[in-house]
Amino acid sequence: MCGITGWISYADDFTAPTAARGTLDAMTKTMACRGPDAGGTWFGPHAALGHRRLAVIDIKGGAQPMRVERGGRTLLVTTYSGEVYNYRELRAELESHGHVFRTQSDTEVVLHAYLQWGEDFTERLNGMYAFALWDPRTEELLLVRDRMGIKPLYYYPLPDGVLFGSEPKAILAHPAVRPAVDAEGLAELVAFTKTPGHAAYKGMYELPPGHTARIRRGGLTLRRYWALEAREHTDDLDTTVRHVRDLLDDIVGRQLIADVPLCTLLSGGLDSSAITALAARGLAAAGAGPVRSFSVDFTGHTENFRPDPLRPTPDGPYAHALAAHVSSHHSDIVLDAADLMAKANRDAVLTARDMPISGFGDGDVSLYLLFKAIREQSTVALSGESADEVFGGYRWFHDPAHVHADTFPWAAAGAADRFAGEHSGGRSALLDRGLLAKLDLAGYQDARYHEALAEVPRLPGETGLERRMREISHLHLTRFVQLLLDRKDRASMAVGLEVRVPFCDHRLVEYVFNTPWAMKTFDGREKSLLRAATRDVLPAKVADRVKSPYPSIQDPRYAAALRTELARVLADEDAPVRPLLDTEAAAGCLTDDAGEAFRSATELVLNLDTWLRMHDTALEL
């Protein structure tokens, strides 16, 4: 995994890049956390490309930006981030067409694939990636993002070209960009939505998943090369379960390829346990075991655990049961409330995110600290992320009131607050009433919901619950999963850890999306297909465990520390977040009897304040 950035200007000549070099260096430097192993730049007449490398495959030969040359002429240049898991098959096919390779990297395969098949080469790629291809022959840039949007890619159109980067911070480092967020951008941040293409910053866009953007002298053109389609499912239940397992075996096997230490993220839930168990089998078959696994825990969490409707059981005992079952080399990363409230850690999370997106409360900081600890021992980690979206794992998939609500089901279920802990204040509870009226969060969310609903593909004659559950699945696979993938990418790449997500393989996503809902819940539970497909590699207590999301700290010292920080902000007349606050409501959170009722709202306020202090961002509200 890596960090990419670049600058295309048809009005400038970068062949003598004295002035441009400092700017490109500054843009590239912002991506150093994503690529701690090496950095490089490339300049052409109208193109300046930057790269920071996290070396995972072909450590010696994969330096970037990488180019293809023939007869002393540069044909194509790329700055590339990600992994193409079928690169070995593609390489063999390209060699049969006469292509000659000088490295063992998947990056070079992508270059030659474009030269062989043109823009349609995207349909042949299996993986997670975001990259730019500059063609000096036509003076055109092609930006490409993977089908599910696992890897981020942002762009900022200029009158004479474009800026792009893996993260907004790379673009914000360019002097032509003035960071500003308007009311729509702030609503996107607060409303717990993830609108494809929306970057929150004015003038900046995120390349939507499954899209390319071609930049020419005449402007920028978006093209969608992949989307979920509605197809008739003809397999019976047994065949479906077998096919899901066959896909998972192939997917996990491909994603075990790395020239650096590899591990799994293990919570003890069905998703991460299935990935860990299949990885253990794959490594053992290759004579490369045992698998390494890591879990996050909090001081005293298991001993003092308090069940609630969202989290009925602690993770620890189940993670340990799976680790013992597959004989993994397992480690618990144990965090304390003080770790989660340390200013340096919270600042690091906001720096990684570029914006105060949250909704996961202390989970944002704990995830960062988990990855930071893992990175000391591994460079690549396999995650169970996205299984809930693919197989229908969340509680609200199975609650008729949430399923049939005229909004995003996670919004109806109050997920923005519930993921951060079981409390009722609401993320926006401490924001100024006038500001909330201007943002119109309910209206904004409603508009985004109906836009998303209009995109859902349907089979002819599909009605009733089957039609609605196809809609629910599509909403999760195109909207909700983006929140989680973005969160995981930023937290992991902030410490130079590559996280792979096998459940996002587009073949699995397409197949399960078109499997009837009755088949996805054939045993009367969530994720029936996944449980049936992997039960043979799991201990019974793990296979039968009730869904429990990423853990949230229950230590009362954490809520007390939040109140202390909120008091500091309210006492600071110059705090940049103060104009956005309902100070009377905020003051009501400072008493001990306020408990955790406004925990998620307090976290949002503190994130906003830190973000505004760290970034010279104008709020144009």
If pLDDT is split at 50, 70 and 90, which confidence band does 105 have?
A: very high
β-pairing, 380-382 vs 262-265, is parallel
Mean pLDDT of 233-240: 98
2 catalytic? Reply is yes
Asked if residue 397 has pLDDT above 60, the reply is yes
Q: What percent of the chain has pLDDT over 90?
A: 80
CA 471 to chain centre: 22
Query: Nearest CA to 27 among 219, 176, 157, 135?
Result: 176
**pLDDT band at residue 78 under the 50/70/90 scheme:** very high
Identify the residue whose tokens are 């990423």: 550
Average pLDDT for residues 347-363, to the nearest whole number?
A: 82
The mean per-residue pLDDT over the stretch 596-600 comes to 76
Please give the torsion angle defined by the CA atoms of residues 305, 308, 312 and 316, in that order, rounded to the nearest 10 degrees: -30
* Marked catalytic residue, from 2, 33, 263, 504: 2
pLDDT digits (tens, 9 = 90+) for 366-388: 999 999 999 999 999 999 999 99
Instruction: State the chain's mean pLDDT as an integer.
Output: 93
- Pairing relationship of beta strands 380-382 and 219-224 according to DSSP bridges: unpaired
pLDDT at 305: 85
431-434 CB contacts, 8 Å cutoff, 24+ apart = 431/190, 431/580, 431/581, 431/582, 431/605, 432/579, 432/580, 432/581, 432/582, 433/582
Whether residue 357 is predicted with pLDDT greater than 70 in this model: the reply is: no
3-state secondary structure of 593: helix
| pLDDT of 419 strictly over 60 | no
pLDDT digits (tens, 9 = 90+) for 523-558: 999 999 999 999 999 999 999 999 888 888 888 888
pLDDT band, very low/low/confident/very high, at 222 (cuts 50, 70, 90)? very high
SS3 132: strand
